[in-house]
Amino acid sequence: MAQTTLPPIHEAWLPREHTLYRPRHGVRQLTAIICAVVFFGLPIFSLTVGMRPTELENHRLAAFPNPGDGWSFFSDFDGWANDHLPFRRDAIDLVNGISRGLFGEPPALGRSSEVSGPVAGVPAPQSGDKRQINPGITIPLAIEGRNGWMYYGDDVVSRCNQVRDLRASVDMIRRLRDGVNASGRKFVLVVAPDKSTIVPENLPGTYAGRDCLQKVNSELWPLLTAEQGVVDLRGELQARGKQLGKPVYPPLDGHWWDEGGIIMARRLAEAIHPTITRNWVTTPAQEYSVPSDTPPLIGLSGTNKGFQYALKPDGVRDQTRAVPPDFSTPVQVGHATGPGTVAKSVGLLGDSFTIKALRYMAASFGDLTVLHYGKVNTDNGRAAGEMLAQNEVVAVEVVERTIASGNNQLLQPDVVDGIVRVLNENPIRK
C-alpha cells in the first residue's frame, strides 16, 4: 500500500495545540510592522495631501534615495523619511518644552559634531575630530548662554583648533595688502567681530574652550590693529549698542543687525575719503522679522526682529535700495550719486557679514562691486583678482573667527598669490 505524504504546511496554520505551531506574526512583530509602515508611509502620504516639510537643523532636506543604488537605497531611506515626517517641527518643540520644563536642561537635539550644510559665516565641520578640542570634549554647534542667548560653537572651535597660528594669518593679510598697494591700488580690510567678542557677558559662566577663546582673542586683536589698512569696528559696535540700549547682535543670531552694516559701510567710506560721511543722516525706516540662524544648529527655532534704516549721504535724499543677498558671482551694488558718496571704483570681497551692509553701501558708493570669497580657492583667486583689477580700491570684509582659525579661504598662500599676480598684471598708472 502506497504511503500517503501530507502536503507541506506553514507552521502558523497548524492547530494552536500542535508543538510546532508558531504564529505568523507575534505581537512584537506586528507592532514593529505597524511602526515601520507609519514611519515610512507618513512622509509619502503627507506629500500626496500637499503637506511640505521644512528645513529645521540648518541642512538641506535629504533627497529621495535612488533605487538604482542597490542596498544603499534602504540605508538612505530612513534619512529621507526622518526629514520628511509631518509635524516634525511640533514634535521637536514638544520635546524641548518637556526637557526644559521638567528637567531644567535643553534636550540633545541635533548635537552631533557634524552638520550637512554650511551656515553663512560658519565653516561647516568636516569631521567629529574637528570640533573635539580635547579627548572627550566636543564643542556643540550652538552654545546656549545666559538670558536666552546663543553663540556659534565655531567661535570657540576656531580658537582651540587652529589650522595655522595667528602670525601666519596676519602674514597673509600683509602679503595681500602689499601686493594690492604695489599694483597702485588702495587696500582696506574690515574685520567683522564675532558676537562672542562684542557681547561676551551673555556667554555661559563656564564652558569648554573658554581659556583658549580668551587667550587667542588677547593675542589676535593687537596683531590686527598694528597692521596698516585694517579697520577695527569693536569700539563703535559696542558704543552703538549702549546708545540703542541693546547689543547690535541679536540674541539668537551669529551676525550683526543693520546697525553693524551701517557702521561697516561708513568706516569703509571713511577709509577711502576720511571726511565724506560728515553729512550722513540715518533714520529708522521699517521693522523686519526673520528666522534666527543659530537655534536651527541644534534643532530649535527662533526669530530676529530688527530695523532697516534710511541713509541720506547728503543729509536730504535717501539712496538705500534692496540688494539681493547672493553675491557668489560679482554683483554691482553701488549706484549712488551726489555729496557724501564715494566716487572711486571699489571691489569688495566679503562674507555673510557683508549682507547687512549691502543696503547702505548701495546708498553711499557710486561704483562698488561685491563678491563672496567663499570659492576663491577653486581657481587660486584668479576670478576674484580679475574683478578686483577693474577697481581703484580693493576692500575685504572678513569675520574674526576665520582669521583666528587660519582656515579662511581668502587668506591661503596660493589664493593671495593668485590675486596679487592678476593685480600686478593690471597695474594702475598714476
Contact 279, 229 (CB under 8 A): no
Q: What are phi and psi of 227, to 5 degrees?
A: -90, 135
pLDDT class of 78 with cuts at 50, 70, 90: low
**Residue 27: exposure state from Cβ atoms within 10 A (0-12, 13-18, ≥19):** exposed
pLDDT of residue 77 exceeding 80, the answer is no
Domains in the chain: boundaries: 28-83, 154-425
Q: What is the pLDDT of residues 208-260, one digit of tens each?
A: 999 999 999 999 999 999 999 999 999 999 999 999 999 999 999 999 999 99
Q: What is the mean pLDDT of residues 127-156?
A: 83
Contact 231, 188 (CB under 8 A): yes
Contact 397, 361 (CB under 8 A): no
> What one-character DSSP code corresponds to residue 99?
H
Place of cell 549702549: 242
pLDDT class of 143 with cuts at 50, 70, 90: very high
Residue 55 φ/ψ region, left for φ over 0, alpha for ψ in the -120 to 50 degree band, beta for the rest: beta
pLDDT of residue 48 exceeding 70, the answer is no
Instruction: Return the pLDDT at 192.
Output: 97
% residues pLDDT > 70 (the chain): 71
Instruction: Return the pLDDT at 21.
Output: 67
Place of cell 590686527: 224
pLDDT class of 112 with cuts at 50, 70, 90: very low
pLDDT class of 123 with cuts at 50, 70, 90: very low
% residues pLDDT > 90 (the chain): 64
Q: What are phi and psi of 75, to 5 degrees?
A: -70, -30
pLDDT of residue 334 exceeding 60, the answer is yes
Comparing 105-109, 304-308, 420-424, which segment has the lowest mean pLDDT? 105-109
pLDDT of residue 85 exceeding 70, the answer is no
pLDDT class of 119 with cuts at 50, 70, 90: very low
Instruction: Return the pLDDT at 121.
Output: 40
DSSP string, 19-73: TT---SS-HHHHHHHHHHHHHHHHHHHHHHTT------SSSPPPPPPPGGGTTHH
Cell of 221: 586683536
DSSP string, 368-412: EEEEEGGGGGGTTTHHHHHHHTT-SEEEEEEEHHHHHHS--STTS
DSSP string, 129-171: HHHEEETTEE--SEEE-GGG-EEETHHHHHHHS-SS-HHHHHH
Beta-sheet pairing, 393-399 with 230-232: unpaired
- Walk across the sheet containing 186-192 and list its strands: 230-232, 186-192, 393-399, 346-350, 368-372, 331-332
Q: How far apart are CA 399 and CA 404, in angstroms?
A: 9
pLDDT of residue 22 exceeding 50, the answer is yes
Instruction: Return the pLDDT at 137.
Output: 80
DSSP bridge partners of 118: none
Contact 298, 109 (CB under 8 A): yes
Closest CA to 154 of 294, 364, 346: 294
Comparing 70-79, 230-239, 322-331, 368-377, which segment has the lowest mean pLDDT? 70-79
State the pTM of this model. Answer: 0.74
Q: How far apart are CA 301 and CA 289, in angstroms?
A: 13
Q: How far is CA 150 from CA 96, 111, 191, 236, 252, in A?
A: 15, 14, 21, 22, 5
DSSP string, 173-233: HHHHHHHHHHTT-EEEEEEE--HHHH-GGGS-SS-TTHHHHHHHHHHHHHHHHTSTTEEE-
Q: What is the pLDDT of residues 339-369, one digit of tens each?
A: 999 999 999 999 999 999 999 999 999 999 9
Comparing 63-77, 173-187, 263-277, 348-362, which segment has the lowest mean pLDDT? 63-77
Beta-sheet pairing, 368-372 with 346-350: parallel
pLDDT of residue 116 exceeding 60, the answer is no
pLDDT of residue 315 exceeding 90, the answer is yes
pLDDT class of 80 with cuts at 50, 70, 90: low
Closest CA to 333 of 300, 342, 205: 342
Q: What is the pLDDT of residues 267-305, one digit of tens each?
A: 999 999 999 999 999 999 999 999 999 998 888 889 999
Which 3-state string (H, E, C) describes 76-97? HHHHHHHHCCCCHHHHHHHHHH
pLDDT of residue 74 exceeding 70, the answer is no
Q: How far is CA 11 from CA 7, 8, 306, in A?
A: 12, 9, 69
pLDDT of residue 83 exceeding 80, the answer is no
Mean pLDDT of the chain: 83
Of the two residues 28 and 377, the one the predictor is more confident about is 377
pLDDT of residue 313 exceeding 50, the answer is yes
